[in-house]
Structure 1
């Protein structure tokens, strides 16, 4: 089996990454009914061998910075590829089974993704709850295979990396400790709870109506996040135009970025979760949303625009390691969180939707409530996932603590049966939370350096474009240092969370 040098490995890895990304895109947007990732992995089997990994490890040891970090990311990708190659067929089978799964509803057999999307637009509280139960029942039917795949992945990763403890293994990959992050966000959640509690009651009453349960189930979260009672103001047909105008005010012209390809269509098999797939940045970056009406369409577009502009704005001369690869996703999430937080600015609501000052303040508070709810959910999710993976080598993974933690943090009941479907790979929850902290720090910096109306000033876009050019090279902790903050300083975040109900 051929062993490539660093340049040769990088060139072939780029071709592999493009093929896998385009396959994932086609399945995610509903253009394909089945996933064929396993076939792609098989075609590039020569990339992911123990011999190739040993060669990359040696090259990493011999390199100096910044080349050492670039090679380290190639080495980490090779490690992941060895594991993926062993599991690709089973992961394809699970993905295809989920695509084929149907939820019986109103005499129809809905694809599970269509049923999940319908939860955001079903206006009747009781029907929404019942549909959520039906979706959960179908999804939970795949939990045994999910758990089996997690167990086999754990064993393979332990073998390939030489680190048997899952949390330590992930910390080595990210280059950060996870429990201090949990401690920081837990403190922020506790400190902001007195402001959140009345805000939660006020907005759940308005969004769910008088018939709501004291503790609604997560079946209602898509409806809540959509802020559906405000749909008449935040119509589906205006979302793209308003978001593009918002970005242009910052000096960020998304339409002029030739590398960004948008997919905003509504298809039955299209995932309701918006995303960006950076197949070959800066040349090919896909921005994917599924608009359904409501403020969340605008937030989702701005969020994904942050990712898309970041990847499409990187220097084309950067190596693959700094254009596409990263140790985690915390850096790119900073830019997404910053842009979607514009919906929390009353002035934005007044400017684009002709609202009175009072209406704009109220609707901005609704957006802050939605964001706060999500932050609290993810802070609890990280705590659960750290416990889950700490126990995993001995108990194989259980839902213990999932429902209790998330429900206590949000006031929304998250059924235990959802604990595996809700688990993103690689402690992505920690990446989100690092970005939550950092984006609050960055907003504080922008208010100080640019002004309170940073969200419509081209100086903000100029600062972001400078950061985008670096691609994925810096860490989010490095960004904190540049703007004068300790990475775990949650003071700006707490100030925003506690100002929500003011």
Structure 2
């Protein structure tokens, strides 16, 4: 049964990821998920899940790898059992957002380009006007989001769980309770540091006081326009290519990685990685516009691409694509935060004396951490109480307090990722800090120029998603993952 199941699951992932890539890269007008779920429906039926559970019970305890693989397959089947129940809603939301436009200066701007508009708009009043139109579109889809999450919650109970949160907590590597506990006082411990720097940055770059800052200002804050000339659009891909070359990895010889930088009207402006067949076919979609966020996103998605491209083809599908996503997020963050390294900025981007930029980037990293810690608290309430209204109000309050930018409840469900992916990001951040410090200690401050460091990373990438992130950290001699190194870094960088 397992061999056939794995073969079919591999086909499902390939079809699903290809559909996602084609739609979000602007090559398809329709987001057609339902035919894929219909074709592979046998994989995610309730009786199939029960059969996998019986198989787990029959597998001897000392067959640890096989048991772990079956647990991954059970989690995958449960996740997609729920996804199948909401597939038409997922399609409707994506297609509505794909067709939606807002009016700006007499022209129509696609909804997916609105964040780009906000990032480039210097006038605060105009940003608020643009953002209100963005929120109007989000509100139009609110009922679809509410019905979608209601069905997901109902589905988790059908599978025998108390609620959606407890279902995800049961999945291998989720570590929801541990993550919630570890980040429990993170906001308090970083609050003074964050707001001291935020107050100065908002005044200097956006001419706003903290109590005036709004969700409409976030993209402009993140974009760091005063440094725009250092991050031209035509340098985005070359910065990634040159970084790999320094690591003795030749991107041009990686035939399994296809960088799609073709401009299309419906293409998502944000870079993304689509591991269609691992490791044989990895798509990296990008629409270069320039700016620091473009470079960060390219490096991040490029980190995903390297991980999947070097994954061993001998691994079964559950250890390639159905593992702990905190692992691949950690590798993505490792590449992304090269932009915080003054040596990398000097030697790769030819920007010496970058301390003021680096300090600003550290503040923005802390913004993201505080935002995701606050989000996790709200998601826990939503998935345990199933009350989207009160959870939305908590979202508005918690994100406003955590980030200093006034949020509303309107975009809570729009901002929600399935399977509590927020926790995977947070554990990925923990992994990245300790992996980077390990590389610096072993190979020096310019570890990204070391062939031996690259070989070590390739050895890790080769394991795919075989190990949950905490286990991988132990096996790689990084130590037990902890929030302390993260807080220590912020304290050093921003004090």
Could you state the TM-score of these two structures normalised by the residue count of structure 1? 0.93
SS in structure 2 opposite 1:66?
helix
Partner of residue 261 from structure 2, selected from 261, 264, 267: 264
- Whether the 8 Å contact between 2:153 and 2:164 is mirrored in structure 1 is yes
Q: How far did residue 211 of structure 1 move?
A: 5.1
Q: How far did residue 486 of structure 1 move?
A: 5.4
- Are residue 35 (structure 1) and residue 20 (structure 2) matched? no
- Are residue 279 (structure 1) and residue 276 (structure 2) matched? yes
Q: How far did residue 312 of structure 1 move?
A: 0.8
User: In structure 2, do the counterparts of structure 1 residues 398 and 375 end up closer, same or farther at CA, with 3 Å as the change threshold?
Assistant: closer
Return the alpha-carbon distance in structure 1 between the equivalents of residues 402 and 410 of structure 2: 18
- Counterpart of 2:162 in structure 1 is 164
Q: How does 1:421-460 map to 2 (within 5 A)?
A: 421-460=414-453
User: In structure 2, do the counterparts of structure 1 residues 186 and 485 end up closer, same or farther at CA, with 3 Å as the change threshold?
Assistant: farther
Return the alpha-carbon distance in structure 2 between the equivalents of residues 106 and 203 of structure 1: 29
SS in structure 2 opposite 1:500?
helix
- Counterpart of 1:112 in structure 2 is 111
Deviations, residues 54-95 of structure 1 (Å, cap 9, x unaligned)? 322222222322112222222222223333333222321222
- Whether the 8 Å contact between 2:34 and 2:88 is mirrored in structure 1 is yes
- Counterpart of 2:233 in structure 1 is 236
- Whether the 8 Å contact between 2:473 and 2:480 is mirrored in structure 1 is yes
SS in structure 1 opposite 2:229?
coil
Q: How does 1:298-313 map to 2 (within 5 A)?
A: 298-313=295-310
- Whether the 8 Å contact between 2:210 and 2:405 is mirrored in structure 1 is no
User: Aligned residues, how many?
Assistant: 492
- Whether the 8 Å contact between 1:151 and 1:396 is mirrored in structure 2 is no
Partner of residue 245 from structure 1, selected from 220, 227, 242: 242
User: In structure 2, do the counterparts of structure 1 residues 372 and 259 end up closer, same or farther at CA, with 3 Å as the change threshold?
Assistant: same
Q: How far did residue 142 of structure 1 move?
A: 0.8
- Counterpart of 1:295 in structure 2 is 292
- Counterpart of 1:352 in structure 2 is 348
- Whether the 8 Å contact between 2:75 and 2:172 is mirrored in structure 1 is no
SS in structure 2 opposite 1:14?
helix
- Counterpart of 1:183 in structure 2 is 181
SS in structure 2 opposite 1:110?
strand
SS in structure 1 opposite 2:284?
strand
Return the alpha-carbon distance in structure 1 between the equivalents of residues 125 and 452 of structure 2: 48
- Whether the 8 Å contact between 2:242 and 2:348 is mirrored in structure 1 is no
- Are residue 12 (structure 1) and residue 8 (structure 2) matched? yes
User: In structure 2, do the counterparts of structure 1 residues 449 and 124 end up closer, same or farther at CA, with 3 Å as the change threshold?
Assistant: same
Mean Cα displacement is larger for which, 250-259 or 337-346? Answer: 250-259
Q: How does 1:150-229 map to 2 (within 5 A)?
A: 150-160=149-159, 162-208=160-206, 210=207, 214-229=211-226
- Whether the 8 Å contact between 1:114 and 1:268 is mirrored in structure 2 is no
Q: Which runs of 5+ in 1 are unaligned?
A: none
Return the alpha-carbon distance in structure 1 between the equivalents of residues 249 and 417 of structure 2: 30
Return the alpha-carbon distance in structure 2 between the equivalents of residues 448 and 95 of structure 1: 45
Q: How far did residue 369 of structure 1 move?
A: 1.7
Deviations, residues 127-165 of structure 1 (Å, cap 9, x unaligned)? 2222112111111221111011100111112212x1122
- Counterpart of 2:369 in structure 1 is 375
Deviations, residues 30-75 of structure 1 (Å, cap 9, x unaligned)? 1112211112211222333233223222222223221122222222
- Whether the 8 Å contact between 2:371 and 2:399 is mirrored in structure 1 is yes
Deviations, residues 310-347 of structure 1 (Å, cap 9, x unaligned)? 01101111111112222x41111110111111100111
- Whether the 8 Å contact between 2:431 and 2:469 is mirrored in structure 1 is yes
Q: How far did residue 381 of structure 1 move?
A: 0.9
- Counterpart of 2:383 in structure 1 is 389
User: In structure 2, do the counterparts of structure 1 residues 111 and 9 end up closer, same or farther at CA, with 3 Å as the change threshold?
Assistant: same
SS in structure 1 opposite 2:392?
coil
Could you state the TM-score of these two structures normalised by the residue count of structure 2? 0.94
- Whether the 8 Å contact between 1:94 and 1:145 is mirrored in structure 2 is yes
SS in structure 2 opposite 1:272?
coil
- Are residue 68 (structure 1) and residue 70 (structure 2) matched? no
Return the alpha-carbon distance in structure 1 between the equivalents of residues 426 and 326 of structure 2: 8
Deviations, residues 464-496 of structure 1 (Å, cap 9, x unaligned)? 101000011011101222355554422211111
Return the alpha-carbon distance in structure 1 between the equivalents of residues 70 and 352 of structure 2: 55
User: In structure 2, do the counterparts of structure 1 residues 255 and 60 end up closer, same or farther at CA, with 3 Å as the change threshold?
Assistant: farther
Deviations, residues 218-268 of structure 1 (Å, cap 9, x unaligned)? 222222222222111111111211221112212333332221111223433
- Counterpart of 2:124 in structure 1 is 125
SS in structure 2 opposite 1:276?
strand
SS in structure 1 opposite 2:413?
coil
Return the alpha-carbon distance in structure 2 between the equivalents of residues 12 and 87 of structure 1: 21
SS in structure 1 opposite 2:78?
helix
> What's the Cα RMSD here?
2.0
SS in structure 2 opposite 1:399?
helix
User: In structure 2, do the counterparts of structure 1 residues 213 and 191 end up closer, same or farther at CA, with 3 Å as the change threshold?
Assistant: closer
